[in-house]
Structure 1
Amino acid sequence: MAERGAHLTTAAAEDRPSIFEVLAQESLMSAVKPALQHAVKILAESNPARYGILWRNFDEIYAILDLLLQHHFLSRTSASFSENFYGLKRVGADSGRPAYRGLCHRHHYHSLLLLALLPYLRSKLEKVLARQRDEDDFSIRLPLSLTQKMYRAFLAIYPYACMAWDGWTFCHQLLYIFGKTQTHSPLLWLAGVKLSHLTANDIHSLDLKSTGPALSLNQSIGQKLQRLFSTVVGGVAVSLSTSLSLGVFFLQFLEWWYSSENQSTIKSLTFLPTPPPPLHLEGRESSPTHTKVCPLCRKIRINDTALATSGYVFCYRCIYMYVKVNHRCPLTGYPSEMQHLIKIYSPEG
């Protein structure tokens, strides 16, 4: 039985990677984003005015960097960054195509969209779904138009679509183990490629190409600028890939460490410095009316709600809409989310 299992997982006769190799290369990139996200979060909390924009637009910035990185490796090695790290390449219909020439245009752009664009869209949809759940938890019921009804219907169907996709992926992996399919993932099947090991000729050709040809005097200025730009982008991608390769195990350790961390609201607030008190609290006498004014609408507060990250009190609707859009405190700039809103109920009411 053990020999049978080893035969199924190695699949050396067909020169295709084992299930352990393909799953390991998939987990590589999934470990990079949480580690970078936590680093950006620390920067944003240390200096919200300077680094807060990085935290608020992290998904877009990461998607652009991931797009450039994957484009470089698909063009130069016929593989994504994680696939090249494990010595794999993508093979299309023309299986005899050398790896250093990259994929054909159709397979290249299909792979690029599925590698970089699809994860970005899925992460945005999951955040939208999380905000929708927060609205339901806070009992926010806004007037529903036809577009909003369709939007809510889509959000209701989305979890079942994810469940169907995960089930399809699992079945694909089982079929790959038993040799019934050439791809372990529906994404590879949609891109029209399969994974294979790099040959000795591929490795030798990639080493020769990495040196790069010198600039010729006969080339036009446009060609020189294009080659220089390609060299710069390639250098940035290679530097990034080298640093990720050296720190891959450290990044995986960080992912495990911060996933096991208690993410309760109280513990997350200990990372933030205590904001200075408002000016009207420093004097001995203060106006009772002034203390009840919302800092956002400048009117008497309605349905008092405190923001736990800063301690300031606002109207519930004012601070709810502001945090929903900006994800930070309007007075201190500290990163804030819906779970940081605390309603205040007066015992006199």
Structure 2
Amino acid sequence: MLFQVGGQGARPTFFEMSAAQQLPASLHAALSYSLGVFALRRPILHKVLDYEDEFFALLMAVLESHSLRTTDGSFSESLYGLRRRPVKVSVKSSSSSAEFSDKAYDSALRKRQKVLSVVFLVVLPYFKSKLQSIYNKEREARLQASLWGQGDVRFDEAGVISDQGETPQAQVEATTGEVSNVARIKKNFAALIGVCYPWIHATNEGLSFAYQLLYLLDGTAFYSPALHALGLHVCRATGQELMDSSSRISRIRSRELERLRGPPWLKTVQRVLLNCMYTSLDYAQTGLIAAVFFFKMMEWWYQSAEERMSAPTVYPPPPPPPLPKVAKDGLPLPPDRTLCPLCCQKRNNPSVLSVSGFVFCYSCIFKSVSQHKRCPITLMPATVEQIRRLFHDL
């Protein structure tokens, strides 16, 4: 039933929309992992990792803008053969009792809708990730303050221990009022984010879950609140639309090449740069999707390797130690193993002497070891601390 919900006609299934929505997160993780591996050999890439959110947002802005311009769909939606179509509501007045509304689709997206789509696809997720990082730092600061106290020792950003209770007078004089005001504003903003972000995140996730559930149950045609706010539906692209998009890309590129101005050598340089950019954009989808699959494969490989390395090694049980030998001048063992070798009676309160492993009555072995400081059978040195009580007689 779940595979058939929304699967008829031009409407995508729930699983197509879910896969298209989760692709950017997988792509971000794949690129971060790849840069982290390359940074082990090229330390200069650590600077890129410090601003990975900004670089990824810039990359996605270029890809989303190009995809919306040429295919009327986002980068991940165009990969699954999906297109965005604006909803146009036309009112029919043929009925005298009531008016009926019918939803139809326009042929292409308007420029305003493309710009807003880039905002919802790139800008808002970027700000959400930055708010998430600020919230995490604020939560760690509150946890550290609860552990160390407000006026006790605290770690600064450089990792140096600083005492908040005693501050040198020279350092206080060196701190200007402007810096203190900026620091106070940043602190208040971080505290505000720490209070408001959980509610914002919960509201966003709740609305997204409600829309996805209604889309799955065929209760709404919008998969997310962003599509509802933009007034856009996502539908499957037909074969004619795919051919039209290819011809549209060719017309746009030929028009851009015709607009080149300047001397011949400058036109040649511009034409080479544009062709390189077109080639990069054409193979960007294939390359980035290959990076996602490569990341998943490496994640599975290293995870299985770590599981094999962390799995406990099962060794065969060691052979039992040899039985202690009865000394030549030691006490002989009784023929019945249930008897005490000292009193030759049924063992009472059985206890073992750990140096030899023989079992006696507790009172008998305690007196013997206290007096002779050795095992009465093997004559090995022993103390009363080496007597162990047995709760099950052997």
TM over 0.5: yes
Structure 2 partner of 1:134: 140
Is 1:250 the counterpart of 2:311? The answer is no
Is the contact between residue 4 and residue 13 of structure 2 (CA under 8 Å) also seen in structure 1? Answer: no
> Aligned partners of 2:120 and 2:219: how far apart in 1?
23
Structure 2 partner of 1:197: 236
Write the deviation string for residues 2-56 of structure 1: whole angstroms up to 9, x where unpaired. Answer: 4xx454242x14x2101011001112221110111112222333333x2221111
| CA distance 1:218–1:245, shift in 2 (3 Å) | closer
Write the deviation string for residues 134-178 of structure 1: whole angstroms up to 9, x where unpaired. Answer: 222333858994763354133222112211111111110111123
Structure 2 partner of 1:115: 121
Is the contact between residue 32 and residue 252 of structure 1 (CA under 8 Å) also seen in structure 2? Answer: no
Structure 1 partner of 2:200: 161
Q: How many residues align?
A: 253
Structure 1 partner of 2:24: 29
| CA distance 1:52–1:150, shift in 2 (3 Å) | closer
SS of match in other structure, 1:92:
strand
Write the deviation string for residues 195-217 of structure 1: whole angstroms up to 9, x where unpaired. Answer: 00001210111233444564799
Unaligned ranges ≥5, structure 2: 89-104, 151-163, 165-179, 311-394
| CA distance 1:65–1:193, shift in 2 (3 Å) | same
1:207-222 to 2 correspondences below 5 Å: 207-212=246-251, 214=254, 219=259, 221=261
Is the contact between residue 72 and residue 234 of structure 1 (CA under 8 Å) also seen in structure 2? Answer: no
> Aligned partners of 1:69 and 1:131: how far apart in 2?
31
| CA distance 1:148–1:67, shift in 2 (3 Å) | same
Is the contact between residue 44 and residue 51 of structure 1 (CA under 8 Å) also seen in structure 2? Answer: yes
SS of match in other structure, 1:221:
coil
Is the contact between residue 25 and residue 86 of structure 1 (CA under 8 Å) also seen in structure 2? Answer: yes
Q: CA deviation at 1:238?
A: 1.8
| CA distance 1:28–1:254, shift in 2 (3 Å) | farther
Between 1:122-131 and 1:89-98, the stretch displaced more is 89-98
SS of match in other structure, 1:194:
strand
Write the deviation string for residues 191-247 of structure 1: whole angstroms up to 9, x where unpaired. Answer: 22110000121011123344456479975617x798876654443222211212344
Is the contact between residue 31 and residue 255 of structure 1 (CA under 8 Å) also seen in structure 2? Answer: no
1:92-103 to 2 correspondences below 5 Å: 92-93=86-87, 95-98=105-108, 103=109
Unaligned ranges ≥5, structure 1: 268-349
| CA distance 1:261–1:131, shift in 2 (3 Å) | farther
Structure richer in helix, relative to its length: 1
1:41-60 to 2 correspondences below 5 Å: 41-48=36-43, 50-60=44-54
Structure 2 partner of 1:345: none
> Aligned partners of 2:18 and 2:57: how far apart in 1?
22
SS of match in other structure, 2:223:
coil
Is 1:85 the counterpart of 2:79? The answer is yes
- Taking structure 2 as the reference length, the TM-score comes to 0.56
Larger relative contact order (CA 8 Å, sep ≥ 6) = 1
Q: CA deviation at 1:64?
A: 0.5
Q: Which has the larger radius of gyration?
A: 2
Is the contact between residue 31 and residue 291 of structure 2 (CA under 8 Å) also seen in structure 1? Answer: no
> Aligned partners of 2:65 and 2:52: how far apart in 1?
20
Structure richer in strand, relative to its length: 2
| CA distance 1:37–1:246, shift in 2 (3 Å) | closer
Q: CA deviation at 1:186?
A: 1.0
| CA distance 1:219–1:151, shift in 2 (3 Å) | closer
> Aligned partners of 1:111 and 1:236: how far apart in 2?
22
Write the deviation string for residues 226-270 of structure 1: whole angstroms up to 9, x where unpaired. Answer: 8876654443222211212344433344466679998xxxx9xxx
Q: Which amino acid aligns with 2:72?
A: S
Structure 1 partner of 2:336: none
Identity of aligned residues (%): 26
